[in-house]
Copies of this chain bind each other. A is one copy, B any other.
Amino acid sequence: MGSMPSEKPETRPYHHGDLRTALLASAERTLREKGVASLSLRELARDVGVSHAAPGRHFKDKQALLNALAQNGFERMAHALEAADDPALPLQPRLTAFARAYLGFAINNAELLELMYARKHEPDASEQMTAALDRTVGSLERVIAAAQQRDEIIAGDPEQLTLTVGAALHGLAAFTANGTYAPDAALDAVEELIHQLLHGLKPR
């Protein structure tokens, strides 16, 4: 970096530069620390150092900002799940790793997850949102389908199988995110849960 002429950090330029990104970052921080209930556009503007109406230039209304947060969350989650999936593994460890990744995301982003699954965007659904969602369930469906081809899992509608596994995972994540279950306890329970899903609860 050469010699920046006249670097006065206090004298903000009239234009922020990347206000939209700054708002999203600050919003996610507040979301994590104080919850969605105490997240106001005006306070956000204060935190970032702009006027109370500035956010309106980048987000039509508050819901639009929340949608952007959710969207962002879905993308990060999809990425985390894909990164955690190792197609070389046999079914059980592969599923366990997948489950741990999902649960880990849920634990580290409890408030965000709530936002992601809030059915607020019925009107337009923002297509990008559902696309990102499909991408995550697609990840799981791929694991299931691969296992079916290897005869590691019973035949049948892959969608129904995905639903069963997905519901169990999401349920555990929800219990953890809402405080019913402690994070460590949930992580401890994952392996056993997967085992029970695969082998069933009835005696053989």
State the A residues within 8 Å of B (CB): 37, 91, 117-120, 122, 133, 151-154, 160-161, 163-172, 174-175, 177-181, 189, 192-193, 196-204
Contact = CB atoms under 8 A, between A and B. Distances in A.
A160 B198 contact: no
B119 A154 contact: no
A165 B201 CA distance: 9
Contacts of A117: 174, 178, 180
Contact of A203 (B122, B154, B203, B204): B154
Contacts of A175: 163, 166-167, 170
Contact of A160 (B119, B179, B189): B189
How many copies are assembled?
2
Contact of A202 (B122, B154, B166): B154
A171 to B, nearest CB: 3
Contacts of A168: 164, 167-168, 171
Given A122-B179, A133-B180, A171-B171, A193 B163 contact: yes
Nearest to A181: B163
B196 A164 contact: yes
A166 B168 CA distance: 8
